[in-house]
Amino acid sequence: MAAPRVPAQTPRSPLAAAPQPRPTDRFAELLLAVLSGQRPVHAMLRHTAGSAYDDLARLAEDGPLRTFGHRPVVRDIGYFVPREGALEVFARIGAGNRLRAMAFRLERGRDLRWRCTAVELDGPRHPSPGKH
């Protein structure tokens, strides 16, 4: 009696790795989550450097991107590369028919991780009273 024939199997190709989000996209979403009150400010602690965490904490106090009815979303992202290892990013944030502007700077550290080093909403910051 002949051995049963087993059909040849096609080798499975490994699943293609899911594309990693760009740092610009990832940070825009993280900052939006903090500034809209969806995540606490301390969630950004290890993702910031310099005074960016303090600036973000001051911005987040009022929940400037917190909305009622429409959840804010990142509508568009653009960036400029002023030097290698640095990105200046802008994002348009939409909630319903309202549009806001968010800008931030990312710098890559020696450990090759991106960190936010500055963040602004709706244009340049005005000096706080009493600060010179």
DSSP-assigned states of every residue in 19-53? PPPPHHHHHHHHHHHHHTTSS-GGGGGGGB-TTHH
Please tell me the predicted confidence (pLDDT) of residue 132.
46
Q: What is the pLDDT of residues 35-85, one digit of tens each?
A: 999 999 999 999 999 999 999 999 998 877 887 778 899 999 999 999 999
User: What is the token pair recorded at 79?
Assistant: 């960036």
Average pLDDT over residues 82-96: 94
Average pLDDT, the chain: 84
52/91 Cα distance (integer angstroms): 17
Q: Side by side, which strands form the sheet with 73-83? A: 73-83, 86-95, 98-108, 114-121
Per-residue confidence band for 21, with pLDDT thresholds at 50, 70 and 90: confident
pTM: 0.76
Percent of the chain with pLDDT over 90: 61
Query: Residue type for 98, please?
Result: R
User: What is the token pair recorded at 110?
Assistant: 């020696």
- Strands (DSSP E) along the chain, which ranges? 73-83, 86-95, 98-108, 114-121
Please tell me the predicted confidence (pLDDT) of residue 97.
84
Alpha-carbon Rg for the chain, nearest whole angstrom, is: 22
